[in-house]
Amino acid sequence: MGMLDGEHAIVTGGASGIGRATARRMVEEGATVAVIDVDAAEELTAEQGILSFVADVRDPEACTRAITDAADALGGLTVLFNNAGVGAAMPLHKYSDAEWSRLLDVNLAGTFHGIRAAVPLMREQGGSIVNHASVSGVRPTRFEGPYSAAKAGVISLTMDAALEYAPKIRVNCVSPGLVETKLTAVVLGDPGLRAKIEEATPLGRIGTPDDVANLVVFLASPLASYITGQSVVIDGGSVLPNPQADAILQWFVQPH
């Protein structure tokens, strides 16, 4: 038996990266799955029978229509992974209005659109919503001001939805650190930089899409039946070090 036997799941941003890995893991755990993305997920459809719908989560009508159509095709909706997202990096004062809006619209408004469309389809039978936040929403990172703000908003929205829709619908979010995807390949392809990141990460490696997919599946499964309103950080311990305290305490414990 799988962890998601009998579940009907939708993954936004499911054509690549974390969304793609999660859709596959959900199928492996017994769910029937549809993905929604700005790009068609034809390979997933051919390989695993995952349904593919094309929509931009920034467009509220298109997002609602895609989620409704996907739920109809699946025979219901019990799990939603609001995964679609985009990022950017530059000094805060250099962000244009258009770029600010793009980051907020995809990451935060897109998550809201997903929740709003899914709740009426879940309220009677219950279900689980998992939102994709970020460790940057827990601890803001330099040069990612709009992205960090949007992801902090996702965490707050998650807690609000958990309060409003309990006990029928559980709502949680995952907050990944650095994950190896096509989007991060440009920096992780530098051996020196990669080694520096791995050395600074307590678990000694970069996260993978499957790492996050496993967490999403857990949160959507009956194993997490008493968990709601939580932001679960999955970063290999990367935000644990404290440069000030670490330097002082190392001075005390090392022989002089």
CB atoms within 10 A of CB 69: 15
28-32, 178-182, 237-241 — most confident range: 28-32
CA–CA dist 118, 127 (Å, integer): 10
Residue 3 lies inside a defined structural domain of this protein: no
Closest CA to 54 of 43, 210, 65: 65
Here the tokens at position 223 are 């194993």
pLDDT of residue 108: 98
Task: For residue 218, report the phi and psi dihedrals to the nearest 5 degrees.
Answer: -60, -50
Average pLDDT, the chain: 95
Assign residue 30 the CATH number of its domain: 3.40.50.720
Q: Which of the residues are catalytic? A: 147
Average pLDDT over residues 206-210: 97
pTM value is: 0.95
- Residue ranges making up the domain that contains 40: 8-253
Going by C-alpha positions, the residue among 149, 209, 224 that lies closest to residue 177 is: 209
Radius of gyration of the chain (CA): 19
- Per the listing, tokens 């990266």 go with 17
Q: What is the pLDDT of residue 256?
A: 64
pLDDT digits (tens, 9 = 90+) for 122-153: 999 999 999 999 999 999 989 999 999 999 99
In a domain, 2, yes or no: no
Q: Of 9, 12, 20, 13, nearest to 210 (Cα)?
A: 20
Distance CA 207, CA 205 (A): 7
Q: Can you tell me the distance from the alpha carbon of 156 to that of 1, in angstroms, rounded to the nearest whole number?
A: 34
- Cis check for the bond before 167: say yes or no (omega within 30 of 0): yes
How many domains are there within the chain?
Answer: 1
* Residue 1 counted as domain residue: no
